[in-house]
Amino acid sequence: MAGSVNSPAEAFTRMTFGFRDTQALYVVAKLGVADHLVGGPLGAIDLAKKLGVKPRPLFRVMRALASQGVFTQDRSDRFGLAPIGRLLLSDSPESLRYMAISTGEETYKAAGELLHTVRTGETAFDHIYGKGHFDYLAEHEEESRTFNLFMTQSLRRFGSPLAAYDFKGRSTVVDVGGGRGTLLAQVLRANPRLKGVLFDLPHGVAEAPQCLEAEGVAGRCRIVKGDFFRSVPEGGDVYVLSRILHDWPDEKAAKILANCRKAIKDGGVLVIREAVVPTGDAPAFSKQVDLTMLYLLGGMERTEEEWRKLLRSSRFELKRIIKTGQPFDLIEATPS
């Protein structure tokens, strides 16, 4: 007998075949389908001509996504944009297009080798590509740009609790591993007296000058290129690590923290924007992200006790966890 809606069998089936949705969304995101539908619905033949692809396979992908509310499909088999589909528009402030592209490429391939990771302990991405994810991005400009835009869209989606953080009495914020500078720009806009230092690898900050200029904060922000495993710019009284430490296992995360500890001013504060994993079997977004860290980067999400232990190992003391109501909280620590 077929399982009823929301039965264990139905839930199991939905989870098992989730890969189809990931790849279908990836295809339309990569092709830029939504951008061609802004002017109104199109049939698969006309749409395929604009995209340079085959009409029948495209029709089948569009039909499947229309059945899930991503697109609309009328009686003439013309496809239009539904609210979910508008999230695929390139220039929409709410766009998640690059999330779909990044997830559908290297991340998807790495997920397919999760069993290898469980059996051997080797990160699946490293197994497939022969190098770590960030080393790969350093050698692939398009993939690096896609990843940076994904991170920007993710920040926009989840918001920036750091913009509302109390920086009273502080003068210089150092954003370690800050990429394009989206988060730092939000902080500087919200705190006109602050100065900023954006620190990342050369390919990480490649688009930062344009981003900071567009946000109107370039005059208060210095861009420094470097490797946080070697050193971190000195002189800041606030050091920010936003979704950086979960990329790495404890020994490497501790190295980053140790370099922050060497660089931070007396009386300074470290603010970490990361998930704090709840214990037990309660549903949590962080527990799913933790799997991505496992097979893509070799990193991990951490519980409160794991954060305390990691910070202590690098001579920081966890002072408080600021709950944000979002998947990522703020962890405040001071030098010990």
Catalytic residues: 246
Structural contact between residues 330 and 276, judged by C-beta atoms closer than 8 angstroms: no
The 172-176 sheet, strands edge to edge: 221-225, 195-200, 172-176, 238-242, 269-274, 329-335, 316-322
Structural contact between residues 87 and 70, judged by C-beta atoms closer than 8 angstroms: no
Please give the DSSP secondary-structure letter assigned to residue 103. Answer: I
For 195, other C-beta atoms within 10 Å of its C-beta total: 17
Structural contact between residues 257 and 285, judged by C-beta atoms closer than 8 angstroms: no
Structural contact between residues 193 and 200, judged by C-beta atoms closer than 8 angstroms: no
Q: How far apart are CA 229 and CA 312, in angstroms?
A: 18
Longest dimension (CA), the chain: 69
Q: No. of H helices and E strands in the chain? A: 16, 10
Closest CA to 214 of 152, 297, 138, 289: 152
* 3-state DSSP assignment of residue 17: coil
For 292, other C-beta atoms within 10 Å of its C-beta total: 16
Structural contact between residues 197 and 211, judged by C-beta atoms closer than 8 angstroms: no
The alpha carbon dihedral of 220, 185, 197, 315 has a sign of positive
Structural contact between residues 171 and 178, judged by C-beta atoms closer than 8 angstroms: no
b/e 57-69 (16+ beta carbons within 10 angstroms → b): ebbebbeebbeee
Tokens of 290: 């933790």
